[in-house]
Structure 1
């Protein structure tokens, strides 16, 4: 064993400059690790991602990039073969360094919009998976979504079946099925980043113009094929809009959606009832503070029992929530006048860019 180690180090022994370069690089890496550790130590606990969230984001990112990479590389290679650029097509399909790692090393994946979407989705999905399952009130009764899928109103039934399909695609993405379901703008960015990373794989050649053209055409094809309306979130909103629950049936629908662990449908029902965007309500359903969510439920005139059951389910699903604090706040929640509850939600209905500008100014003043 010792002999093998000496053999591996022969190059360093013969070239002292190589050892010096390695030592310098190790020192820089050590300083970077220390800086990261210091930043992590001073992070507020409520802003730190736990291991489950990190793993979910990593899995989703890897699946998204692999899906887009496979689509672009395969189609670009097909175009190159058709144009008699066989060496380029072959080079493009050879095993190569990870595109995901290249994008990460370049800092592109630090994009705030992309990470905000992935973090929100991860928290939402993990909360949904941890919700306490609740059996239907009647034995052998179908779930809420199954009932809606066979609804007498064809529009409702079609929307419910579309949500079933969207759930399958979302789960399939994580199982390696080729389907990207990012919002259109984020999909657009990721497609071009992946195309550029694929371009870097090919050594410098005289005919790289043909590769550039093929990769660009394959990227445009991916953009054209992407349908934002097929996303799980969009499908849930279409179903909520199609059903358009009345005030009297909304509480039972919300509780059934939670009991079925369909947090996306719960979120969409609330968004439809309040006139807010899906992403806004999704953020409230995963906010451990919960104040705005409780005010939303109060504004919709849910009774104490319904609010208590919703709060209990969310507290059980998210360890960051304080069940005792929620229980102690129930009297205060029910004491809020309905009009005041709606007034507290009013800022959420402002244009998002205007809200962002107000927040930026407030942050700068602080």
Structure 2
């Protein structure tokens, strides 16, 4: 210990029960931790931590606040002391909540669950926030806390939590901008959000101005897709299939025979991408038609792109095998579908597909907004 902070002077302060002496003792002990003349040995460190823990509740608020500021980045203080400071009034707790690296996830979670929103806000802007802590902040925090967390680039947020926040951003506009700017937001999530924002804008403009909704849809969809096009998605299986099909289409080699060949070879992604390219529909809509066994939708798409009845029949049977296996009983089903195919007028089919060409998420968002009205 330094000469100015001798054991005798500290003992004298400790023996004095006055408020002023306790405050002075706490300040002197704090200075020991921060002294540039040498670190405390292990015995001294344990002793001083113990004294500070016992004094903490009896010293003035201003002393506790000063103590928290001085020791926020210290690695010498005990867990007991730092957690006591972290759970004090926010003006005292804030420095350690924001900066102390001694606080463990379980300590932070305990504070999140039992203290104020101001405490949660301080935790949300820490230099590092783990997924577990982020989850607790999202569960217990206000919109202010959650927005601060989303804006914290060093906060780890699980994909499940991000998905929840993306869903929440439908109704909480302030989450949208910081979510879109996060590096860990997937393209799929960002895509959904773009359409939600666009759909909300569409409703607002249609309500406030005398405009043709169809022309407005075209303009908004074009602008939003241009934004999305600037986002590079990792090449997955579906993305590779789309690129293959687009290349073939540019080379004028894409036709119905290619779709049939892909289905026979069980290359379902390629077949879906080919149908999407030929119809101008998104792959999600084609997947929905196939997976949900929407045979009427398949008939409409076939009519719209000009398939002959025999071509539709071949494709329908192959897709039926994909969904139900090679032993699927198809005769009666096929007759029903061919009858449906005959009843669909090509002009009506093209009109339906033009509506379906609106982006999948854009349509979904409009329906959600209509339901909310």
Interval containing the TM-score (normalised by the shorter chain): 0.3 to 0.5
Specify the structure having the higher radius of gyration (Cα): 2
Q: TM-score with structure 2 length normalisation?
A: 0.36
